């Protein structure tokens, strides 16, 4: 029997000469996929336990391999492990080291297994962990927003459409819109778990295996829900990668929209917020500057997260069944998207904790742009039974009048209003009050103060 030569590649008895240096560098993924080491070792341990339980390998060999794998885990954690591009990826780096530590018996580990099922098992385990971590960070975001909302139930601001003043709202209601966005993100991450809970281990290279393996055992031990159904699909499927990248893209898009919003609010033109020193930077030439770089970076990174999603989709679009090496880059896309997203959420959390809302300017801005016009029209409908279109036209005339006279709606006298709507008495004046307007929006999901308080309580219960 020919011996596996120490430190040679696994296929050195078939491919006799070494790869060119350029190709070795190009083909190796070790500096990316070494992040899977923990998952790789745990999955290998469960695999070897299963092989022993099924009497495919002996107890002695199993114990030796487990001992060797533990030693390797320790070496990697302690940064004493020498990763080598010669051994291509994390799987073969670990296998090679196992040979160095326990000798020929290391060769039993790859019985009834291929790197094709090994890599996706590791990867699904890793993404499950990443999913949890992102959800944890989003929970923090939601908590920060909730505590800010509680403080700003009675802070009045203009709600915008087209970035033009539209109708008065409570700042808390605005902030709670972000909570909805992040709650949907959380749900999307959780939904992705269903495919991440299907166990790929045991499908082999592509067709399954003739050994009497127990896939239910590895499923249970690795906390999957069930084994995957089709070996060919299993080794070629990267839908779970796309799912994560899409979900990360959506979440990043939400953070980016908030970032953009806050950048606008922080501008001198709006001046609705100011940011604490912790999250702004200065200029190298303009001494007065306090730039919201933190938010701009968040907005910028969203592009590269989308890029990862599109890269993965593009890799997949030309691949027949089943495994191809093109797939190796999937890790790069996920790790990059995960890192960027996690950092963006963390920085957004910092920003949210370090915002001062400029209540006075919000109120001043809300008083511009005739934002209680709809309230006036609604009053005509409710009190005088106008068709809404007629009320709308009458309100438009009132706004035109105000514009001509350079007055706010709230500055009109009842006599001026009567020139347009003779039937009205001074009870109508209350509709121009911003607080009244806000509190009148009692429909479910609307901005009334009562609604907001109920919503805050509901979210608080959900997040516990």
The one catalytic residue among 162, 210, 284, 443: 162
- Based on the shown chain and the rule CB under 6 A, indicate whether residue 119 belongs to the binding site for ligand ARG: yes
Which of positions 83-102 make contact with ligand ARG (CB under 6 A)? 89
- Based on the shown chain and the rule CB under 6 A, indicate whether residue 52 belongs to the binding site for ligand ARG: no
Q: How far is CA 45 from CA 102, 148, 219, 222, in A?
A: 15, 47, 13, 10
Burial of 217 (0-12, 13-18, 19+ CB in 10 A): middle
Q: Is residue 9 annotated as a catalytic residue, yes or no?
A: no
Q: Spell out the alpha helix ranges (H) of 270-411.
A: 293-317, 330-353, 359-366, 373-384, 388-405
- Least spacing, CB of residue 27 vs ligand ARG, in Å: 9
Helix (H, G, I), strand (E, B) or coil at 223: coil
| DSSP state letters, 189-203 | HHHHHHHHTEE-TT-
| 8 A C-beta contact, residue 435 and residue 362 | no
Q: Is residue 162 annotated as a catalytic residue, yes or no?
A: yes
Which of positions 304-323 make contact with ligand ARG (CB under 6 A)? 323
- Least spacing, CB of residue 205 vs ligand ARG, in Å: 7
Of 7-15, 38-46, 111-119, 132-140, the segment contacting ligand ARG by CB under 6 A is 111-119
Task: Output 29 or 209, the one with its CB closest to ligand ARG.
Answer: 29
* Total number of residues that touch ligand ARG (CB under 6 A): 9
- Based on the shown chain and the rule CB under 6 A, indicate whether residue 116 belongs to the binding site for ligand ARG: yes
Task: Output 91 or 152, the one with its CB closest to ligand ARG.
Answer: 91
DSSP 86: G
Of 112-120, 165-173, 296-304, 377-385, the segment contacting ligand ARG by CB under 6 A is 112-120
- Based on the shown chain and the rule CB under 6 A, indicate whether residue 29 belongs to the binding site for ligand ARG: yes
The C-alpha angle with vertex 298 and arms to 297 and 300, in degrees rounded to 5, equals 60
Burial of 406 (0-12, 13-18, 19+ CB in 10 A): exposed
- Least spacing, CB of residue 66 vs ligand ARG, in Å: 23
Q: How far is CA 23 from CA 18, 29, 84, 311, in A?
A: 10, 12, 14, 22
| Residues facing residue 169 across a β-bridge | 157
- Least spacing, CB of residue 228 vs ligand ARG, in Å: 16
Which helix (H) or strand (E) element contains residue 77? helix 59-77
The one catalytic residue among 13, 226, 283, 397: 283
- Least spacing, CB of residue 8 vs ligand ARG, in Å: 17
Of 54-62, 209-217, 272-280, 324-332, the segment contacting ligand ARG by CB under 6 A is 324-332
Task: Output 174 or 323, the one with its CB closest to ligand ARG.
Answer: 323
Task: Output 34 or 384, the one with its CB closest to ligand ARG.
Answer: 34
Token output for 370 = 């005739």
- Based on the shown chain and the rule CB under 6 A, indicate whether residue 251 belongs to the binding site for ligand ARG: no
- Based on the shown chain and the rule CB under 6 A, indicate whether residue 266 belongs to the binding site for ligand ARG: no
- Give residue for tokens 């909730």: 146
The residues annotated as belonging to the active site are: 162, 283
Q: Which residues bind ligand ARG (CB under 6 A)?
A: 29, 89, 115-116, 119, 323, 325, 327-328
């Amino acid at each position: 029997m020919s011996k596996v030569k120490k430190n040679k590649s696994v296929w050195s008895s078939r491919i006799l000469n070494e790869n060119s240096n350029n190709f070795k560098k190009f083909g190796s993924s070790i500096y990316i996929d070494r992040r899977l080491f923990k998952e790789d070792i745990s999955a290998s341990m469960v695999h070897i336990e299963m092989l022993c339980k099924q009497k495919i390998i002996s107890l002695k060999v199993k114990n030796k391999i487990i001992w060797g794998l533990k030693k390797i885990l320790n070496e990697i954690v302690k940064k004493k492990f020498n990763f080598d591009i010669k051994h291509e990826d994390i799987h073969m780096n670990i296998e090679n080291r196992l040979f160095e530590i326990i000798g020929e018996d290391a060769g039993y580990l790859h019985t009834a297994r291929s790197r094709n099922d090994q890599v996706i098992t590791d990867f699904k385990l890793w993404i499950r962990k990443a999913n949890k971590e992102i959800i944890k960070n989003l929970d923090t975001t939601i908590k920060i927003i909730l505590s800010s909302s509680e403080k700003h139930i009675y802070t009045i601001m203009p709600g915008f459409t087209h970035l033009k003043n539209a109708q008065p709202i409570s700042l808390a209601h605005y902030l709670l819109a972000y909570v909805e966005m992040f709650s949907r993100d959380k749900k999307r991450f959780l939904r992705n778990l269903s495919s991440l809970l299907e166990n790929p281990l045991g499908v082999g290279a592509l067709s399954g295996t003739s050994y009497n393996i127990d896939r239910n055992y590895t499923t249970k031990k690795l906390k999957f829900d069930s084994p995957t159904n089709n070996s060919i699909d299993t080794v070629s499927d990267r839908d779970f990668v796309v799912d994560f990248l899409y979900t990360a893209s959506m979440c990043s898009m939400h953070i980016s929209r908030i970032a953009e919003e806050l950048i606008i609010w922080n501008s001198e033109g709006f001046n609705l917020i100011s940011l604490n020193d912790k999250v702004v930077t200065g200029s190298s030439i303009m001494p007065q500057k306090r730039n919201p770089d933190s938010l701009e970076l968040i907005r910028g990174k969203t592009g590269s997260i989308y890029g990862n999603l599109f890269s993965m989709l593009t890799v997949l679009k030309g691949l027949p069944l089943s495994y191809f090496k093109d797939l190796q880059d999937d890790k790069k896309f996920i790790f990059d998207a995960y890192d960027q997203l996690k950092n963006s959420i963390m920085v957004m959390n910092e920003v949210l904790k370090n915002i001062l809302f400029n209540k006075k300017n919000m109120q001043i801005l809300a008083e511009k742009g005739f934002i209680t016009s709809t309230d006036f029209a609604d009053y005509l409908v409710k009190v005088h039974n106008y068709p809404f279109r007629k009320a709308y036209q009458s309100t438009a005339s009132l706004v035109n009048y105000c514009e001509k006279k350079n007055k706010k709606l709230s500055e009109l006298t009842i006599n001026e209003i009567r020139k347009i709507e003779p039937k009205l008495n001074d009870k109508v004046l209350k509709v121009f009050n911003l607080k009244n307007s806000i509190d009148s929006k009692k429909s479910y999901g609307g901005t009334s103060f009562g609604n907001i308080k109920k919503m805050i309580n509901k979210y608080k219960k959900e997040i516990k």
